[in-house]
Chains A and B, each alone.
Chain A
Amino acid sequence: MKIYHQHGHNFVWNLDSYTEDGSGNGHILSPVNIESDKIPLRLSEDIRKVSFFDPQFYLPHDAAKKLQTYTFFPKNVLNNFSTSDFIEQAYDIAQSCLVFQKELNFQYSIIPTRYFSELPENALEQLTSIFLDPFISEHSRITDAPPLLLTVIVKSIQLEDELLRSELITWITNYPELRGVYLIFDNDFYSKQIKDPEYLSNQLLFIHYLRQNGLEVHVGYTNTEGYLLSIADPTSVTVGAYENLRSFGIQRLETRESGTQQGPTPRIYSSKLFQWIPNTSLPPMRRLIPDWQGLFDESPYSEYLLNPSSSLNFNRKEIYKHYFFIFSRQAKELPADLQTRTSFVVEKIKTVLENFERISNHNVFLDSNSDGSHLTSWMNAISIYNSEIV
Chain B
Amino acid sequence: MKALDEITSKCSDVQALAKGGQKSVLSAIHPQHGKVVIKFGEYRSINSIERIKREVELLKELNSMYYPKHFEFIIDDDNREFLIIEECIDGKELSESTSAFTEVTAILSLIQDLVKGLNIIWAKNVIHRDIKPANILIKSDGLPVIIDLGIARFLDKASLTHSIAARGPATPIYAAPEQLRNRKPMIGVRTDFFLLGILALELYHGFHPFDPQKVGNHANIVDNILNGIYLPPNSSNNTFNDFIEGVLKVQPYQRFRLPQELADHLGIKLIL
Contact = CB atoms under 8 A, between A and B. Distances in A.
A170 B163 contact: no
B251 A125 contact: no
Interface string B176-197: 0010010111101110000000
B253 A169 contact: yes
B63 interface: no
B254 interface: yes
B185 A209 contact: no
A166 B186 contact: yes
B106 interface: no
Interface in A111-158: 121-122, 124-125, 128, 133
B257 A167 contact: no
B186 A122 contact: no
Given A121-B163, A213-B257, A170 B252 contact: yes
Interface string A204-246: 0000010011100000000000000000000000000000000
A162 to B, nearest CB: 9
Contacts of A122: 163
A176 to B, nearest CB: 5
Interface string A167-207: 10111011010000000000000000000000000000000
Contacts, number: 49
Given A121-B163, A163-B181, A170 B257 contact: no
A146 to B, nearest CB: 22
A166 B188 CA distance: 13
A121 B184 CA distance: 11
Contacts of A213: 253, 257
A125 B181 contact: no
A163 B185 contact: no
Contact of B253 (A124, A128, A133, A209): A209
Contacts of B188: 170, 174
B74 interface: no
Nearest to A210: B253
Task: Give the bracket for the number of chain A residues in contact with chain B.
Answer: 10 to 19
B261 to A, nearest CB: 9
Given A122-B163, A163-B183, A170 B258 contact: no
A121 B189 CA distance: 23
B183 A167 contact: yes
B186 A173 contact: no
A170 B178 contact: yes
Contacts of B184: 125
B186 A171 contact: yes
Contact of B251 (A121, A133, A169, A174): A169
A174 B257 CA distance: 8
A174 B156 CA distance: 13
Given A166-B251, A166-B253, A170-B251, A124 B258 contact: no
Contacts of A176: 257-258
A212 B181 CA distance: 24
Contacts of A209: 251, 253-254
Given A209-B253, A214-B257, A170 B181 contact: no
B27 to A, nearest CB: 39
Contacts of A170: 178, 183, 185-186, 188, 190, 251-253
Contacts of B190: 170, 174
Contacts of A167: 183, 185-186
A173 B257 contact: yes
Nearest to A169: B253
A128 B186 CA distance: 12
A387 B183 CA distance: 27
A295 B50 CA distance: 69
Contacts of A166: 186, 251-253
A114 to B, nearest CB: 16
A174 to B, nearest CB: 4
Contact of A128 (B183, B185, B257, B258): B185
Contacts of B156: 133
B257 A124 contact: no
B185 A124 contact: yes
A201 to B, nearest CB: 16
Interface in B216-272: 251-254, 257-258
B225 to A, nearest CB: 15
Contacts of B254: 209, 212
Contacts of A214: 257
Given A166-B186, A167-B183, A167-B186, A173 B163 contact: no
A214 B257 CA distance: 9
A202 to B, nearest CB: 14
A173 B253 contact: yes
Nearest to A174: B188
A163 B253 CA distance: 12
A165 to B, nearest CB: 9
A98 B60 CA distance: 35
A173 B159 CA distance: 20
Contacts of B186: 166-167, 170-171, 174
A375 B186 CA distance: 35
Given A169-B253, A170-B185, 8 more contacts: A125-B159, A125-B184, A125-B185, A166-B253, A171-B185, A171-B186, A174-B186, A176-B258
Interface of B: 156, 159, 163, 178, 181, 183-186, 188-190, 251-254, 257-258
14 contacts: A121-B163, A122-B163, A133-B156, A163-B183, A166-B251, A167-B185, A169-B251, A170-B183, A170-B188, A174-B186, A174-B190, A209-B251, A209-B253, A212-B253
- Top 5 closest A-B pairs, CB basis? A124-B185, A174-B188, A170-B252, A170-B186, A169-B253
